[in-house]
């Protein structure tokens, strides 16, 4: 069971090329799709979720041609979009029960068993009679996952699911996603690098509608070992350093600027640093932008 994308391209009427020959094989488990705002992540999610047609290429999941068999794909799809709205005056139970009916669960007793199980699985059972308008951000996201799991989908798409969540809710949501991904394909779109580092067995980085890097997070991190260096710099020093070596990221540490650079040899005044997935991410974006220029 896998999602296979080959040569997927999409240009909007305003001329923006959102997807440019995207080719990926997304296996069973959690797959992370990283990229900055405007990279094409949401466009790809919407295309796979049958919400918009692509211009060229093919998308197949477990024998289903998504373009020609959208209804068949929807039967096995769970989707949590980036902007997930709720009816604020409706209770969690009533809303989930209604959505289950729309998914084709007509028999009342069986449907209620499904609703009860989903509310328990997402740790919302004790809030089942509470109106959705009173839910916290994390609770709304967990409710979003509950509705996405109706019908036991084989493919689940979650778009920026942890944006705006506090650390405790992020932790709970991570555990829930990890549990879900044991049995299905989960496509996680995010700009939060640590979400992918913590959760995903495989990943890809998107920029300008193109896949610029893909692979296993640990292997991608290992590939740049010995080529990432760090140094605290002032604003004036940063400008000078940028002319000598590629600065891939500048982080604030205790109020000071910590520059990470990519170089085959140790630059003067810098020390080695063990790379992480953020270094992979920023290095790939830096290399991509230079190539495009």
Q: In the prediction, which pLDDT does 66 show?
A: 96
3-state helix, strand, coil in the chain (%, to 5): 35, 30, 35
Question: What number does CATH give the domain 3-215?
Answer: 3.40.50.300
Lookup result for tokens 């068993």: 113
H-state helical runs in 79-181: 92-102, 108-121, 137-148, 167-180
Judge if pTM exceeds 0.75. Answer: yes
Which residue carries 């896949």 as its tokens? 211
In the chain, what percentage of residues exceed pLDDT 70? Answer: 99
Q: What is the mean pLDDT of residues 218-243?
A: 92
Give the tokens for residue 169.
């809710």
Q: Which of 187, 127, 178 is nearest to 154 (CA)?
A: 187
Q: What are phi and psi of 214, to 5 degrees?
A: -150, 155
Binned at pLDDT 50, 70 and 90, residue 83 comes out as confident
Q: Measuring CA to CA, how many Å separate 278 from each of 31, 72, 191, 224? A: 17, 38, 11, 12
* ∠ Cα 2 102 83 (to 5°): 65
Domain boundaries, the chain: 3-215, 222-292
Q: Tell me the pairing of strands 210-215 and 271-272.
A: unpaired
Mean pLDDT of 193-216: 93
Residue 58: its pLDDT value, please? 96
What percent of the chain shows pLDDT beyond 90? 65
Contact 218, 211 (CB under 8 A): no
Q: How many CB atoms lie within 10 A of CB 271?
A: 9
Flag whether pLDDT at 293 surpasses 60.
Answer: no
- Please tell me the distance from the alpha carbon of residue 5 to that of residue 103, in angstroms, as a whole number: 26
Angle at 95 between CA 121 and CA 192, to 5 degrees: 55
> Would you give the distance in Å from CA 151 to the centre of its chain?
22
């Amino acid at each position: 069971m896998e999602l296979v994308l080959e040569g997927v391209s999409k240009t909007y009427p305003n001329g923006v090329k959102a997807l440019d020959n995207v080719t990926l094989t997304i296996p069973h488990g959690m797959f992370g799709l990283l990229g900055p705002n405007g990279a094409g992540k949401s466009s790809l999610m919407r295309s796979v979720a049958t919400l918009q047609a692509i211009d060229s290429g093919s998308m197949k999941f477990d024998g289903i041609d998504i373009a020609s068999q959208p209804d068949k794909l929807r039967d096995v799809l769970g989707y949590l979009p980036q902007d997930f709205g709720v009816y604020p005056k409706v209770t969690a139970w009533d809303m989930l029960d209604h959505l289950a009916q729309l998914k084709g669960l007509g028999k009342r007793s069986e449907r209620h068993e499904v609703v009860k199980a989903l509310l328990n699985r997402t740790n919302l059972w004790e809030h089942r009679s509470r109106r959705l308008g009173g839910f916290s951000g994390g609770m709304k996201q967990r409710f979003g996952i509950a509705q996405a799991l109706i019908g036991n989908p084989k493919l689940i798409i979650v778009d920026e699911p942890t944006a705006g969540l506090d650390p405790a809710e992020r932790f709970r949501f991570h555990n829930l996603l990890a549990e879900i991904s044991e049995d299905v394909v989960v496509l996680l779109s995010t700009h939060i690098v640590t979400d992918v580092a913590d959760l995903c067995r495989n990943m890809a980085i998107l920029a300008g509608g193109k896949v610029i890097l893909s692979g296993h997070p640990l292997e991608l991190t290992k590939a740049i070992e010995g080529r990432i260096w760090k140094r605290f710099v002032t604003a004036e020093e940063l400008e000078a350093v940028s002319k000598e070596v590629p600065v891939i990221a500048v982080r604030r540490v205790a109020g000071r600027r910590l520059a990470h650079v990519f170089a085959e040899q140790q630059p003067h005044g810098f020390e080695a640093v063990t790379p992480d997935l953020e270094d992979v991410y920023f290095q790939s974006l830096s290399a991509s932008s230079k190539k495009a220029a």
